[in-house]
Structure 1
Amino acid sequence: MDSLTTVATDVLVIGSGIAGCFAALKAREIGADVVMVEQGKSGFSGMSTGGTHRVRVVLPDDDFEEAMKGTVMECEYMVDQDFLQEALVETFDRLRDLLNLGAEFRRDESGNIKWYWADTMLPDFKQRNAMWEPVGSYKHILKINKQVVRRGVKVFDRVMLVDLLTVNGEVKGAVGFDTRKGDFYLFKARAVVVAAGGFSGGGVGNSPSLTGDGIAMGIRVGAELRGMEFGKAETGGMLPDRGAPPWVSVLLNPQDPEVTFTNALGEDFLDQYELGKRVPGRKYYGPPYRIHLMAALKEIKEGRGPCYVDYRAPDKAARLRQFWGSFFDRTLRQIKVTGTTFDKMKYELAISRGYNLGGGIRITPQGQSSVPGLYSAGQSSDMCCVAQYCIVSGMMASAITARRAGGNAAQYALSQPEPRIDKEQVKSLKRQIYAPLNRKHGTAADELRMKIIKTWVNVDIRNEDRLTTAHLGFDELRQEADNLAATDYHELVKCHKMSAYIECSDAVAVAALARRETRLEHIREDYPLTDNKNWLKWVIVKQVGGKLTGLLEDIPFGRWKYRPESRIIDRLQLAGGNCD
C-alpha cells in the first residue's frame, strides 16, 4: 500500500483478452514500447477465454455487397457504415492473424477450414462461420498471449487499474494496485487503449468479474458512450430449482429445426407473428432473441404463461456432439449432474439480461475515443455500434477494433512528448483507491452487488417509470459506494468493481430512457414499435455537469449507401399482415 511502482511506456493496454493482445501486437509492430496490464492472470481471465465458439468471416470471393447489406439490416441501421465497409474486408485477414498466432479452427478431411453457413433473421442472408477447435477453450487465447510476450510486450498480471490519469484533458496513464500485495502502481503513457471487456447486466450472463471497469474509467474522464441501450437479452430453458443453467445454450444446434416455443395452452405462439413464424432460410430459434422476447412477454402478460422451450429431437445428443465437438462432452457432464436426460428437455422459458454486446466507449473507425490519448477496442468499446451476432461482432470485432486502436494509439504516442503527470492528481486518486481499507464500518461489496442486481429489474422490463426508478436507484447506490469498506485487498478489488458496475448500469438506464422506441434488444413496453421515421439516431451518454446524460445524434445516412425506408415496424404484426 505504501510501496510505489512507476512504469513508463509509449502505449498502455488495459486488458489481456483478444482485444488487448491484438492492440498490443499492432502497437509493437509500429515500433512503440507497450505495456499490457491484466487484473487477473493473462491468458486465463476475462471474456475471451470462454468466448471461443465461432468467428464469422467474409472471404475475398464471397458476395461483399450481400454481406454489407445483410449486416446493416441485422444491425437495424445503427452500425457506422464507414467502419463496417472496411471491417468486412478485414475479417479474412484477422482470421489469418489468429491462425498465425496459434489459434486452431475445425477442419475437414482434407485439412481445410470447415465452413458452416448459418441462417439469420433475414431469409436470404447467410453468415460464413468457422468454429474454434476445441470450442470454448482458453487455450487459444493463451497461445495468443504467449506471442504477445515473445514480441516484447511487458505484461503486468494481477494489477487492477482503477482510474485514468489526465493532463489538460488528455489521457496520460493510469493508476491502480496489486490485487495480492496491495502495492500502488503508476503507469505513465503517451496513449492508453482500454480493452478490458464489458459487463454483465443485472448480475447474470457472463462472469461476475465483468463489471465494466474499463468503460467506467472512460466515463470518469469524460469519454462519450454509445449504444448502451442495446445490451444482450436472452431466452432459454430454466430449471425450477436453479434458474437458467449455463449449458442450456449448448442444447441448440443453429441448424436444428425441431426447437419449439409453446405457451401454457401448448400453442406454438411464435408462428402467429409475421416476423416470428417459420420461413425457409430464416433462423427460427437462437440469438438474437428480439422477436422471442416480445412474444413471450405478451403471452405472459395476457395470461397464457408460463411459456416453454422444447429442445427434444431424435438423435439430439449425436447431432449436438457433431456440431459442438469436445465442448459438448464437457457440457454433458454438467447436464448429468442435474439429473437431466435428453428425453426431458422441455423447460420453462427464462428471460434474462446478459453481458453487454452493444455499447461502450464510443470510438471512431480508427479506435479513438472522444478524449485525446484514449483509445478503446473490443467489448469495452461500442465497436462502432455493431449489433450482437452480426459478422463483425464478438471475437472478430474485438480483433478488428483492437488492431486499429493499437496501431493508431502507437502512431499518436510516438508523436507525443514524455508525459508530465499531475502529482496532486495521483495523490488524490491513491487516497480514493485505498479509502475502503481505512473504513472500519461501511457497506460490503457483496451487499452492494445484490442491491445493484435488484435495481436492474427495472432495467430489464422497460418503460418510463421503471427506467426512471432505476436511474434514481443507481444514483442512490452511487452514494452508498462512497461508503464501501474492505478488510483485505481481495475485498478492495470488489469495492472498485461495484463502483464501476454502478456507473455502467446507470449508463444503460440513461440510454434506455433516451431511446423512445424499440430497436435491437432494446424493448420498450411504452414504445413497442421500431420507428424508422423519427429514431434513426444514436444515443450518446456522457457526463454533463457531473451527471450522466443521454444525448441524441442523427446518424449520417447522407454519405452512406444503405438507409431504411421511412416507416414504422411492428415486430408483433400477425402473420399475413403488413409490419408497417
Structure 2
Amino acid sequence: MAKIEDIGEIVSTEVLIIGGGVGGLATALKIKEANPKIDVLIVEKQTTGWAGKAAKIGGILSFLGPNNSADKFLDFQVNTSGFYLNDQELLLKYLQSSYRAIEQFGEWGAKLARTPDGKLVTIPTFWAPEYSTAYIDIDLMLPMRNKARKLGTTVLNKIHIVDLLKNENRVVGAIGFDIVTGKSFIFKAKATVLANGSCGYKVRRFWSAGTGDGIAAAFRAGAEMRNAEFGNLYAHTVFQETDCGMVGTSFLVNSLGENLLEKYMPGSGPTGVFLPVKLAISLEKEVNEGRGPIYFQPPPSAPPFGVHSGLPKISKWNERMEATERKHGFAPGVKHEIGVPLHGETSCINVDHDMKTSLEGLWAIGDTSYAGSAVAGAVASPPGVTPGSGIMFAVISAEWAALSAARYVAEAAPADISIAEAKSCKKNIFSSLERKKGFSPTEAIAVLQDVMAPIKYNLRRSKERLEEALTRLENLKEKMPVLQAKDPHYLSKCHEVKSMAICAELTFRAALMRTESRGFHFREDYPERDDKNWLKWIILKQDGHEIRLSTQPIPISKYKIKPAG
C-alpha cells in the first residue's frame, strides 16, 4: 500500500506561509505575537529576507498621518483612481491602519529615516491629498527575519510551491520541490497563507520572480478571483538611466517639446505616479503621428534634505548608482528617451476583510490579493496611484490574516492529505523534468510576453484584439504539456510560465467581459464608463477546464462615496 512518505518529504506545521517577502514575514511575526505557541513555517522560492519587491523599490512607505483626513484621501482614491469599484469599508480600514504599520517597522528593528533629533522624516506626497511618505532602508526584512526566527518561526528556502492540497473544500497544505536538488516536499497545515506576490510576467527585472505562483495555485484549487482585468500596470522607463524616472508623468514631452500631460489631460490635478491610461495611449498616438520619440524632461531638482538620513544601505546603493550614472549615463545635454513597459501586477485572489479566500483554510495577502481585495478599485495594484503602498498593504493585510488564521488554527482539526491527490500532483510537477526533449520554458516565456506586454492587447483593448490575444494564449497552452526542463531550475521556469499563462487568461477574460472603460481598463469599442450596467466586480472561478465568469454588484448604496447622478 502506498505511503505518503514515498511521495516526498513530509513537513507538518499549523500555519504554512508561502512566500518569505515582507508580507510573509509580517504574517509570521503577527501570528507569533498573537500566540507564541502556534507552529509557523515560511516556505520561499528565493531567499527569505530578500525575496519579493520590498528590497528593490527604493524604501518608500506611503501612509495617512494621524492628523490627516481619511475622508479626503478616500474621496480622492474612489473618485479619481478606483472609480467606485473600491470596497470602501476595507479601504478605510486600511487607511486607519497605515500609521501604526510605520511604527511597527521600527519595533521590528528596521531602520526608518529620522531627523537628527530622532523624529520620523515624513514628506507630503504630490500625487495624492492627505498622504505622506516615510523612508525605510532596503534591508528592512533582515531584522524581521531575525525576529521571526527568534520567536520560533521555521524557514525553508529554495522551494517552489506548485499546488495546494485539499480535503473537500478545505486547503490542508501544499506540494512543491527544491529548485536546487529537485527533492519533492509535501506540507501539511491547518491554515495556509499565500504571500508570494503578484504576476509581472518577467518583463521588469526587479520583479522577475513575481510569476503569479500563488494566484495560479489558488485558482486551480477552486478559489475565486476578482478584478483580474486590472492586472495591466504600465509605467514609463528612461532608456540608459539608472533611475527609471517613472515618477515623472508630468514631465513627458514629444519631439517638439510639448508637455503631453498638459496637452492631453489639462488641469487634471494629481494623477498618481504611474501612467494614466489616457496619457499612455496618447504617447502611442504621438509616435504614430510622427512626433516621437517621447522624452522625460524634469526640471533640475535635488531630493528633499534628510530623506535617506540614517539609512546606510540605501545611501550606499545611491552612491553606487551615482557612480554608474557618471560612467555610463547620459552625456550633458542628451535628451532622455523613454519606453512604456508592462509591470503587470495581476493580484486578483478574491478575499474578505480578514484576507480569507473562498476556500476554507486559505488566506491571501499583499500582492496576491491587492486587486482581489478591492481596496484599490479599478486600478492596477499595487501600487495604484500611491508608490509605497505595496509594502504597506503587504504588512497591513498580513496582520489581518494573521489574527484570523491564529483564531482558526485554535479550533481547526489536524490536516488530512489525500495520498492519491499528492501522488497525482507530484506526477504533474515533475513531468517536464522527465521529458528528454520538448518546448523550452525560456521560449514559452518569450511567447507569453509577446501577448501580455504590447499596449495594443493589454492597455488599448478591444473585443477583436482581446480575442486575438486569447487565441495566441490558447496556442501557447497547447504546447504546455511538452515543456521540457533540463534541471530543477528550469523545472521552476516551466511552472512559472504555466502560472503566468493562467494569470494572463484571467486578465483577458475579465477584460473581454467588462464592456465599458473604467480606470486602468480601457476599451476602444466601449470608451465610456457605464455606471448603470457596470458597478460590478467580475468574479472568475475554475469550472473543469474552463473559466466561469460572473458578476457581483458593488454595494454602492451602503458606501459613503457614490457616482454623481
Tell me whether the two structures share a fold, i.e. TM-score over 0.5. Answer: yes
Letter in 2 for 1:353: L
* Preserved contact between residue 237 and residue 309 of structure 1 (Cα < 8 Å): no
* Preserved contact between residue 58 and residue 92 of structure 1 (Cα < 8 Å): yes
Aligned residue in 2 for 1:379: 367
* Preserved contact between residue 265 and residue 304 of structure 1 (Cα < 8 Å): no
**Aligned 1:66-215 pairs, distance under 5 A:** 66-73=72-79, 74-120=81-127, 125-132=129-136, 134=137, 137=138, 139-201=139-201, 203-204=203-204, 206-215=206-215
Q: 1:262 to 1:312 in 2, by over 3 A?
A: closer
2:113 alignment partner, SS class: coil
Aligned residue in 2 for 1:393: 389
* 1:425-482 CA-partner distances (Å, limit 9, x unpaired): 1111111111111111111110111111112233343211111111222222222111
* Preserved contact between residue 23 and residue 403 of structure 1 (Cα < 8 Å): yes
Moved more, 358-367 or 497-506: 358-367
Q: Cα offset for 1:164?
A: 0.3
Structure 1 distance, partners of 2:122, 2:195, is 29
Q: Cα offset for 1:246?
A: 6.0
- Kindly indicate whether residue 331 of structure 2 is the aligned counterpart of residue 341 of structure 1: yes
**Aligned 1:296-375 pairs, distance under 5 A:** 296-301=283-288, 303-314=289-300, 316=301, 318-319=302-303, 326=315, 327-341=317-331, 343-344=333-334, 346-356=335-345, 359-375=347-363
TM-score scaled by structure 1?
A: 0.87
* Preserved contact between residue 159 and residue 179 of structure 1 (Cα < 8 Å): yes
* Preserved contact between residue 253 and residue 323 of structure 1 (Cα < 8 Å): no
Q: 1:30 to 1:142 in 2, by over 3 A?
A: same
Q: 1:2 to 1:510 in 2, by over 3 A?
A: same
Q: Structure 2 residue aligned with 1:431, among 422, 427, 430?
A: 427
Structure 1 distance, partners of 2:514, 2:389, is 22
Moved more, 61-70 or 321-330: 321-330
Moved more, 194-203 or 157-166: 194-203
Aligned residue in 1 for 2:380: none
* 1:504-562 CA-partner distances (Å, limit 9, x unpaired): 11111112112222222222222222333332211222212421243222111122111
Structure 2 distance, partners of 1:340, 1:323, is 25
Letter in 2 for 1:29: E
Structure 2 distance, partners of 1:284, 1:195, is 29
Aligned residue in 2 for 1:289: 276
Q: 1:461 to 1:392 in 2, by over 3 A?
A: same
Letter in 2 for 1:331: M
Aligned residue in 1 for 2:412: 416
Q: 1:543 to 1:23 in 2, by over 3 A?
A: same
Structure 2 distance, partners of 1:402, 1:342, is 46
* Preserved contact between residue 363 and residue 382 of structure 1 (Cα < 8 Å): no
Letter in 2 for 1:310: F
Aligned residue in 2 for 1:20: 24
- Kindly indicate whether residue 61 of structure 2 is the aligned counterpart of residue 55 of structure 1: yes
Letter in 1 for 2:409: A
* Preserved contact between residue 10 and residue 410 of structure 1 (Cα < 8 Å): no
Moved more, 292-301 or 372-381: 292-301
Structure 2 distance, partners of 1:391, 1:300, is 28
* Preserved contact between residue 235 and residue 292 of structure 1 (Cα < 8 Å): no
Q: Cα offset for 1:216?
A: 0.6
1:362 alignment partner, SS class: coil
Aligned residue in 2 for 1:6: 10
**Percent identical residues:** 28
* Preserved contact between residue 177 and residue 183 of structure 2 (Cα < 8 Å): yes
The alignment covers a number of residue pairs equal to 541
Q: Structure 2 residue aligned with 1:29, among 27, 33, 36?
A: 33
Q: 1:565 to 1:359 in 2, by over 3 A?
A: farther
* 1:365-422 CA-partner distances (Å, limit 9, x unpaired): 1110011111100001135223313489311111111111122122112211111110
- Kindly indicate whether residue 262 of structure 2 is the aligned counterpart of residue 271 of structure 1: yes
Structure 2 distance, partners of 1:447, 1:349, is 27
**Aligned 1:415-564 pairs, distance under 5 A:** 415-456=411-452, 457=454, 458-564=457-563
1:166 alignment partner, SS class: strand
2:189 alignment partner, SS class: strand
* 1:255-280 CA-partner distances (Å, limit 9, x unpaired): xxxx533334433333234xx2257x
* Preserved contact between residue 532 and residue 565 of structure 1 (Cα < 8 Å): no
Letter in 1 for 2:330: T
Structure 2 distance, partners of 1:99, 1:511, is 40
Q: Cα offset for 1:352?
A: 2.0
Q: Cα offset for 1:128?
A: 1.4
* Preserved contact between residue 445 and residue 495 of structure 1 (Cα < 8 Å): yes
Structure 2 distance, partners of 1:206, 1:516, is 33
Structure 2 distance, partners of 1:409, 1:403, is 10
Q: 1:205 to 1:286 in 2, by over 3 A?
A: farther
Moved more, 290-299 or 493-502: 290-299
Q: Cα offset for 1:249?
A: 2.3
Structure 1 distance, partners of 2:440, 2:485, is 7
Structure 2 distance, partners of 1:173, 1:418, is 11
Moved more, 27-36 or 285-294: 285-294
Aligned residue in 2 for 1:230: 230
TM-score scaled by structure 2?
A: 0.89
- Kindly indicate whether residue 44 of structure 2 is the aligned counterpart of residue 38 of structure 1: yes
Q: 1:438 to 1:448 in 2, by over 3 A?
A: same
